[in-house]
Amino acid sequence: MTRAQQQYEQLTPASRALFERALGSLPGGNTRTTIFHDPYPVYLVGGEGCRATDVDGVERIDFISNYTSLILGHCHPRVVEAVQRQAGRLMSAAAPNELEIELAERIRERLPSIELIRFANSGTEATMLALRAARAFTGRSAIATFAGGYHGSHDYAASIPADPSASPGGRGIPAAVADTVVVAPFNDIEGTRAAFEPRLADLAAVIIEPVLGSGGVLPATAEFLAFLRELTREAGALLVFDEVISFRIGYHGAQGRLGVTPDLTTLGKIIGGGLPVGAFGGRADVMALFDPRSDNPLGHGGTFNANPLTMAAGLATLAEMTPERYDELEALAVELWEKLTTLFADTSVAGSVTQAGSLFNLQLDDTASLHLALLSNGILLTGRGMGCLSTPMTTVEVDAFVEAVRLGLR
Ligand SMILES: Cc1ncc(COP(=O)(O)O)c(C=O)c1O
């Protein structure tokens, strides 16, 4: 056992006990693959601002923020108040509500490419439905995506291989599904042209994260996105931006910053203010496929679509996220980037940091032992080194992070 693991296990006996109990009911003690790590994850019991407390009473600064969702941190008073108020009125019902109209309007103000929008319960649902819409609109089957991208856990998204040279597909995914998925190299115009070429006539959509999120916080270049815009237009396919994560990089999302307009956009995470959410929207002529008054509309049920609690939390969150708040968050992220870059240079560690808006990713050969060391030094960060800032953070938390990384690299 490594020193980092020993230290971690000494600090977290109650988490270990819960994990052992969970093994009796959940496969590998787990019900969310993306949050598992060896030897077991910490179990959280509370959060306030940018700090979260585990069952052993250990407090850490939360640079995961539920995989970038909690842009205002934990239990922001305005969000809590909005949810509590709504919970006392109407939690969910088989009826539309005014809050969904309001949240749709707030999102459309920020993303003018969205003329019409629909709400769902996760980013997974959002990308699945955007792809279905593209297929229905074009009458074609193939969808193209990029190595290193993540679009959720439905069969098409899960077909993206971890190894970019491997074929799309995976255990449990029918060949008929995987055969419709084309994977191209990210930010590589010639490689993408070659990968798409044989499938262009059947291409329904190209789906891309304009900033790779869990794939390392790597922005697509403006040239690459402009190339995709032109190629999809010429091929008669739709361009889908998956902004489930990247919407948090600025008031107008990544699309506002990179200057390319998609046909459809998928959203999730911050627009639900910490509650389960997804959304997809874009061109009115495509989204009109879902108009139940039309002939043969696309069905999109969902017992909890646009549920009032999520809508209330999302509205309270977006109301706080003014353009100035985005600027402040980004300035703090740049400060973090600078301090970490200096640390790597000073310690001669072969590492670097990528950053876009309030997102960042440590780029190191091995983040696993650093990850455990950070957990023992007061920091929550994803196992792959991806993290984000939230509005309650200041230079104090940035410095604590840099110091914990310094200790962890020793
Ligand atoms: C870019 C992107 N798309 C889609 C998803 C899936 O969202 P969800 O986990 O809400 O299903 C994620 C989740 O991390 C994501 O990062």
Q: Which of 231, 300, 11, 267 is nearest to 124 (CA)?
A: 267
Q: Is 156 left (phi over 0), alpha (psi -120 to 50) or beta?
A: alpha
- Residue by residue, pLDDT tens for the chain (410 residues) are 888 999 999 999 999 999 999 999 999 999 999 999 999 999 999 999 999 999 999 999 999 999 999 999 999 999 999 999 999 999 999 999 999 999 999 999 999 999 999 999 999 999 999 999 999 999 999 999 999 999 999 999 999 998 878 999 999 999 999 999 999 999 999 999 999 999 999 999 999 999 999 999 999 999 999 999 999 999 999 999 999 999 999 999 999 999 999 999 999 999 999 999 999 999 999 999 999 999 999 999 999 999 999 999 999 999 999 999 999 999 999 999 999 999 999 998 889 999 999 999 999 988 888 999 999 999 999 999 999 999 999 999 999 999 999 999 98
Instruction: Give this prediction's pTM.
Output: 0.98
What beta strand segments (E) does 125-219 contain?
A: 142-146, 181-184, 203-208, 211-212, 218-219
Q: Which helix (H) or strand (E) holds 242?
A: strand 238-242
In this structure, the residues whose C-beta lies within 6 A of any atom of ligand 1 are 67, 122-124, 127, 150-152, 209, 213-214, 242, 244-245, 268, 278
| 269 carries an active-site annotation | yes
**Among 199, 195, 204, 198, CA closest to 146:** 195
From 145, 110, 147, select the one nearest 130 (Cα to Cα): 145
Q: Which residues contact 266 (CB under 8 A, 6 or more apart)?
A: 123, 126, 127, 130, 151, 207, 240, 241, 242, 243, 244, 278, 279, 280
Most ligand 1 atoms within 8 A of CB, residue of 269, 280, 384 to mutate:
269
Top mutation candidate among 119, 146, 245 for ligand 1, by most atoms within 8 Å of CB: 245
For ligand 1, atom 2, the nearest C-alpha belongs to 151
On the 0-12 / 13-18 / 19+ scale of CB atoms within 10 A, 350 is: exposed
Q: Which candidate in 54, 62, 242, 263 is catalytic? A: 242
Contact at 8 Å (CB) between 382 and 64?
yes
Q: Is 242 a catalytic residue?
A: yes
pLDDT at 43: 98
The rounded distance, in Å, linking the Cα atoms of 50 and 377 is: 15
Q: What's the rounded Cα separation, in Å, for the pair 227 and 246?
A: 20
Residue that has been written with the tokens 């910053």 in this structure: 257
Supply the pLDDT for residue 204.
Answer: 98
